[in-house]
A and B are shown apart, each in its own frame.
Chain A
Amino acid sequence: MAKVDFAIGIGGEAGQGIATPGDILARIFARRGLNLNAYNAYQSLIRGGHTFLTIRASDGPVRSMGDKLDILIPLNQDTMDRHLRLLGAGACVLFDSDKIKPGVPAEGVQVCPLPIKQLTAGNKLAANTVAIAATLQMLGVEFKALEDALTRIFKRKGDAVVSENVGFAQTGYDYAAANFKAFPFKAPNLGKGNAVLTGNMALALGGIAAGVKFYAAYPMSPSTGVLMYMASHARELGMMVRQVEDEIGVMNMVIGAAHTGCRSMCATSGGGFALMTEAIGMAGMIEAPVVCIDVQRAGPATGVPTKTEQGDLWQILGAGQGDFPRIIVAPKDTLDAFQTIPELFNLCDKYQCPGLVLSDLLISEGTASVDPKDLDFKVKIDRGELIMPNGNGNGNGAAANPFGGANDNAYLRYKNTESGISPRAVPGMPGHIHVAATDEHDEDGTLISDEFTNPAKRRMMVEKRARKMETVLAQIAPPKLVGPEQAEVTLVGWGSTEGVIREAVEKLAAEEGIVANQLAVKWIVPFHADEIAHLLTRSKRIIIVENNFSGQFARYLRSETGIAAHGHIRKYDGEPFMPHHIVNAVKSQIAGQTELSVPEHEVMV
């Protein structure tokens, strides 16, 4: 059980410098071994608007941004006006009293005005430093931690800048000690450091661990973080990273590189993914292993570029015309994102098909702490039946026939094997010449779509490709029921909602006396239909929680298992669920008030 669990909210206009204090605080907490989760609610502009960063830290698990704010740092009046009413007793608000009026807070909220002009001698850039220094003082964090952080950040700018900022920080720290009441708890130092990273960084690092040699992308929020991480590490790690003219080009280029034997990856959001879909069908048809990440944002069309949603499930299920094997996975959190990518690459190499990842803005742009020991880069590599000039380690060497291939049928790229998996030779291999065609083709790659159309062969090839999927399910872990087996409610979710649902389950038990359990689904295709049906048929009340309007997962669950849920909790306002949204919705559904709850997001961000 967590002893300390607090959240800090920093808000202002884009461009007011919210990211840096957010980063300083997150790193200070993580260095003390605290777990944290940070979510930045922002808008599609570079300057202005309203941006609100929530950083929650605890000595116990932190799986969402939580429900409450303990410290509010409004950098402008707008933020004060929007968020002050959400503070409860025991919380505090720290603000520049020279330019912001506090309004009327709830009883028990500590109002902490900072006379910034006086404290900074008029240096406007120092206001944020003063505010975080005061925050850390009230949280019982020793000044040295902040001094170290500031030194690290400003080192590049020279000693004078470092000492100036440390000076402002000391002023703010001392002012808080003299004038404000510290929290009754202290942010502890657990004596071990945590790593801090975004979901996009985790996805990129997963690709790096898997051995990605080729990464291409077209910038699109909220997936661009993967491109930026890959690009900044490309040369040191020997990866080819390309920004391409559009997502059509991205996917085609990635397939080209994958065809030569590179592990190749790309990331985009729903709109870019829509452009990629024809090529994803090509990967299915020519049996090229590629990994594509769709970081979902609120759609349709341009939608809400900086807001989250789980609205692309059916797009990804139906991406590309015709039937072809694909693997679809929705990681549940930051660490899972890192660990899923290498596992997916192994499956894609083995089954020679596209692997599609459903992330979303919440995971990808959210920040979380991870135990560095869990960032294990020594992952298992299995490239399946791959034939390369330098061998594949599976005993398939070069063939004897020097030219071979197309004219003598010695090598059949699309051999109709029992497993459906055909040994895959890459271009450059002597003796394995073939054509990889998006037209339907025979075992040797010859087109059978035009002159040689042949129903028997067409059927054989469709079945050969489809047969590959028969053994995938056994390679991946089925979802597990978390919580008491006998429960009043089973909350079902997929992908990024795993954490917030877990917290809602804990809250239901602790605060409402409602026994709930949870089924979090990660692997979408193939789907553990039997296992899931077995678990859910014993549930008294199934409620599906998802971040979209139409209940895309509810429909999918029904199509695969025949199970229709008793109730639904859906949110499609662009903001992620908070635990109390789910708790309140479950209560009203148990009370028989509704079967479809759409929680209201209480604050305008």
Chain B
Amino acid sequence: MSTVVDPIPATTLAPATALTKDTYKNKVHPDWCPGCGDFSVLAALQMALFELGLQPHQVVVISGIGCSSNLPGYINTYGMHTLHGRSLAVATGVKLGNHELKVIATGGDGDGFGIGGNHFMHTMRRNVDLTYIVMDNQIYGLTTGQTSPTSRKGMKTKSTPHGNVENPINPIPMAIVGGATYVARGFSGKQKHLIELMKGAIMHKGFSFVDVFSPCVTYNKDNTYQFFNPKVKALDDLGHDPSDFHKAMDRGYQWNEEIPIGLFWKRTDLPSLEESEPVLDEGGPLAFRKLGITDEQAQGLIKELV
């Protein structure tokens, strides 16, 4: 029953069958509310994968818990539907276990910035080569409408019936200072724009973050399509330079009649965690390497003990 075998790179087994747009569709239809912004995020992600020509079996989409975290069940790639707030920790393990996979974490604002906030900070500073797509609806939807870390001050929700007295976090500046090397914001109502942001994020070497305004049509009556549509402005059209740290921070904080969307911040001068770990320099994915150690290594370990 021994399973010790010599490694073969997974990529050599990639099938030659042509991809179509439908390749990434899953038989399960999303159970999101009609009109939910997450439909557009799912469609954008499927299109981004298609346009990048990525084989479904080379992609793992990993989510936490919440409405948006059901996404892995609706896309034909490998998927993990983990625990509330833990998608990035699991995704890091997956990426380090097999760094030849394209690993995409998806989830909501409560999952990522509330219960999962600690992992968000640390995954960014490690610059793990992951793409993190947050469907940010500024509300807890699956628990039927409570305040979230991105709910605006004053917002009335079921857990803040007198209005939210706390300040929200702003994920964009947080990601920029947190160490993310690709920081973008999209909007469900601008799908083509979102596809381009996702493609850039997926191909970026390092931690890429796409915060998507994805309106909850059932529980959030403040941050609606009608709210965002007239306000969102593409950073490209504003002449923004994503390599300018201070301008990126300023644009990140901008929240008035004009709310910028697009690529705020990108740097390519930092190695990713996988590139920084000599253990991954050669030998292919850890997962497919031979188990155990050589006699020589074993003798070396024992020698240290005598």
Which residues of A line the B interface, CB within 8 A?
30-31, 193-197, 201, 205, 208-211, 213-214, 216, 233-240, 242, 244-246, 248-249, 252-264, 278-279, 282, 286, 370, 372, 375, 377-383, 386, 388-394, 398, 402-403, 405-407, 426-439, 445-447, 450-451
Asked whether, in the complex, the Cβ of A375 is within 8 Å of the Cβ of B302, the reply is yes
Known: A213-B289, A430-B13. A30 touches B96 (CB 8 A): no
Is B58 part of the contact surface with A, judged by Cβ < 8 Å? yes
Asked whether, in the complex, the Cβ of B118 is within 8 Å of the Cβ of A233, the reply is no
Is B269 part of the contact surface with A, judged by Cβ < 8 Å? no
Asked whether, in the complex, the Cβ of A437 is within 8 Å of the Cβ of B81, the reply is yes
Asked whether, in the complex, the Cβ of A427 is within 8 Å of the Cβ of B81, the reply is no
Which residue in B27, B95, B289 is a CB contact (below 8 Å) of A407?
B27
Known: A260-B285, A402-B17. A446 touches B73 (CB 8 A): yes
Q: Could you jot down 20 A-B contacts, CB within 8 Å? A: A208-B293, A244-B122, A245-B119, A248-B89, A249-B89, A253-B92, A259-B97, A260-B287, A263-B291, A381-B4, A390-B7, A402-B17, A427-B57, A428-B58, A428-B287, A429-B10, A430-B15, A433-B77, A433-B78, A446-B28
Asked whether, in the complex, the Cβ of B302 is within 8 Å of the Cβ of A372, the reply is yes
| Residues on the B chain within 8 Å of A234, using CB | 279
Question: By CB atoms of chain B within 10 A, which of A210, A256, A279, A393 has the most?
Answer: A256
Is B60 part of the contact surface with A, judged by Cβ < 8 Å? yes
Q: Would you list which residues of chain B between 269 and 288 have a CB under 8 Å from chain A?
A: 277-280, 283, 285-288
Asked whether, in the complex, the Cβ of A430 is within 8 Å of the Cβ of B3, the reply is no
| Residues on the B chain within 8 Å of A261, using CB | 97-98, 287-288
Known: A257-B286, A403-B23. A377 touches B31 (CB 8 A): no
| Residues on the B chain within 8 Å of A434, using CB | 78-79
Asked whether, in the complex, the Cβ of A391 is within 8 Å of the Cβ of B5, the reply is yes
Is B197 part of the contact surface with A, judged by Cβ < 8 Å? no
Asked whether, in the complex, the Cβ of B302 is within 8 Å of the Cβ of A195, the reply is yes
| Residues on the A chain within 8 Å of B5, using CB | 388, 390-393
Nearest CB of A to B242, in Å: 28
Which residue in B4, B16, B297 is a CB contact (below 8 Å) of A236?
B297
| Residues on the A chain within 8 Å of B17, using CB | 402-403
Asked whether, in the complex, the Cβ of A256 is within 8 Å of the Cβ of B91, the reply is yes
| Residues on the A chain within 8 Å of B293, using CB | 208-209, 237, 377
| Residues on the B chain within 8 Å of A403, using CB | 15, 17, 23, 56-57, 76
User: Which residue on A lies nearest to B13, using beta carbons?
Assistant: A389
Asked whether, in the complex, the Cβ of B26 is within 8 Å of the Cβ of A426, the reply is no
Instruction: Report the Cα distance A196→B97, complex, angstroms.
Output: 32
Asked whether, in the complex, the Cβ of A249 is within 8 Å of the Cβ of B97, the reply is no
Asked whether, in the complex, the Cβ of A238 is within 8 Å of the Cβ of B81, the reply is no
Chain A proximity mask over B40-61: 1 for CB below 8 Å, otherwise 0: 0000000000000001111010
Nearest CB of A to B72, in Å: 5
Asked whether, in the complex, the Cβ of A252 is within 8 Å of the Cβ of B288, the reply is no
Asked whether, in the complex, the Cβ of B277 is within 8 Å of the Cβ of A240, the reply is yes
Which residue in B4, B14, B94, B96 is a CB contact (below 8 Å) of A240?
B96
| Residues on the B chain within 8 Å of A433, using CB | 56-57, 76-78
| Residues on the B chain within 8 Å of A402, using CB | 15-17
| Residues on the B chain within 8 Å of A236, using CB | 297, 300
Is B163 part of the contact surface with A, judged by Cβ < 8 Å? no
User: Which residue on B lies nearest to A451, using beta carbons?
Assistant: B31
Asked whether, in the complex, the Cβ of A389 is within 8 Å of the Cβ of B3, the reply is no
Instruction: Report the Cα distance A377→B292, complex, angstroms.
Output: 8
Known: A255-B90, A381-B291. A398 touches B13 (CB 8 A): yes
Asked whether, in the complex, the Cβ of A233 is within 8 Å of the Cβ of B101, the reply is no
User: Which residue on A lies nearest to B126, using beta carbons?
Assistant: A242
Which residue in A238, A253, A282 is a CB contact (below 8 Å) of B83?
A282
Instruction: Report the Cα distance A431→B91, complex, angstroms.
Output: 21
Asked whether, in the complex, the Cβ of A30 is within 8 Å of the Cβ of B306, the reply is yes
Is B2 part of the contact surface with A, judged by Cβ < 8 Å? yes
Which residue in B73, B82, B279, B302 is a CB contact (below 8 Å) of A447?
B73
| Residues on the B chain within 8 Å of A31, using CB | 306
Chain A proximity mask over B60-90: 1 for CB below 8 Å, otherwise 0: 1010010000101100111111110010011
User: Which residue on B lies nearest to A435, using beta carbons?
Assistant: B79
Nearest CB of B to A227, in Å: 16
Nearest CB of A to B83, in Å: 5
Instruction: Report the Cα distance A200→B295, complex, angstroms.
Output: 22
Which residue in A197, A427, A445 is a CB contact (below 8 Å) of B101?
A427
Instruction: Report the Cα distance A435→B27, complex, angstroms.
Output: 12
User: Which residue on B lies nearest to A259, using beta carbons?
Assistant: B94
| Residues on the B chain within 8 Å of A258, using CB | 93, 97
Which residue in A238, A405, A426, A435 is a CB contact (below 8 Å) of B72?
A435
Asked whether, in the complex, the Cβ of A381 is within 8 Å of the Cβ of B26, the reply is no
Contacts A248-B119, A438-B82 aside, 5 further interface pairs with beta carbons under 8 A come to A196-B306, A214-B96, A233-B301, A257-B287, A435-B81
Which residue in B3, B82, B288 is a CB contact (below 8 Å) of A393?
B3
User: Which residue on A lies nearest to B23, using beta carbons?
Assistant: A403
| Residues on the B chain within 8 Å of A407, using CB | 25-27, 76
Asked whether, in the complex, the Cβ of A427 is within 8 Å of the Cβ of B13, the reply is no
Asked whether, in the complex, the Cβ of B298 is within 8 Å of the Cβ of A377, the reply is yes
Asked whether, in the complex, the Cβ of A259 is within 8 Å of the Cβ of B286, the reply is no
Instruction: Report the Cα distance A375→B4, complex, angstroms.
Output: 20
Question: By CB atoms of chain A within 10 A, which of B56, B86, B92 has the most?
Answer: B86
User: Which residue on B lies nearest to A211, using beta carbons?
Assistant: B291
Asked whether, in the complex, the Cβ of A245 is within 8 Å of the Cβ of B118, the reply is yes
Known: A31-B306, A372-B302, A398-B13. A431 touches B94 (CB 8 A): no
User: Which residue on B lies nearest to A281, using beta carbons?
Assistant: B83
Asked whether, in the complex, the Cβ of A252 is within 8 Å of the Cβ of B1, the reply is no
Which residue in A253, A379, A380, A437 is a CB contact (below 8 Å) of B93?
A253
Q: Which 7 A-B pairs have the closest CB atoms?
A: A256-B93, A211-B291, A402-B15, A260-B97, A252-B89, A261-B287, A435-B79
Which residue in A248, A436, A447 is a CB contact (below 8 Å) of B70?
A447
Asked whether, in the complex, the Cβ of B82 is within 8 Å of the Cβ of A252, the reply is yes
Asked whether, in the complex, the Cβ of A213 is within 8 Å of the Cβ of B286, the reply is yes
| Residues on the A chain within 8 Å of B15, using CB | 402-403, 430-431
Nearest CB of B to A380, in Å: 8
Is B237 part of the contact surface with A, judged by Cβ < 8 Å? no
Asked whether, in the complex, the Cβ of A210 is within 8 Å of the Cβ of B14, the reply is no
Instruction: Report the Cα distance A311→B26, complex, angstroms.
Output: 47
Asked whether, in the complex, the Cβ of A427 is within 8 Å of the Cβ of B73, the reply is no
Asked whether, in the complex, the Cβ of A383 is within 8 Å of the Cβ of B3, the reply is yes
User: Which residue on A lies nearest to B288, using beta carbons?
Assistant: A390
Nearest CB of B to A148, in Å: 12
Asked whether, in the complex, the Cβ of A253 is within 8 Å of the Cβ of B70, the reply is no
Is B100 part of the contact surface with A, judged by Cβ < 8 Å? yes
Asked whether, in the complex, the Cβ of B118 is within 8 Å of the Cβ of A428, the reply is no
Is B33 part of the contact surface with A, judged by Cβ < 8 Å? no
Which residue in B76, B101, B279, B288 is a CB contact (below 8 Å) of A239?
B279
| Residues on the B chain within 8 Å of A375, using CB | 298, 301-302, 305
Instruction: Report the Cα distance A450→B97, complex, angstroms.
Output: 30
Nearest CB of B to A234, in Å: 6
| Residues on the A chain within 8 Å of B28, using CB | 406, 446-447
Asked whether, in the complex, the Cβ of A428 is within 8 Å of the Cβ of B101, the reply is yes
Asked whether, in the complex, the Cβ of B289 is within 8 Å of the Cβ of A260, the reply is no
Known: A262-B97, A282-B83, A403-B56. A450 touches B31 (CB 8 A): yes
Nearest CB of A to B248, in Å: 25
| Residues on the B chain within 8 Å of A428, using CB | 10, 57-58, 78, 98, 100-101, 285, 287
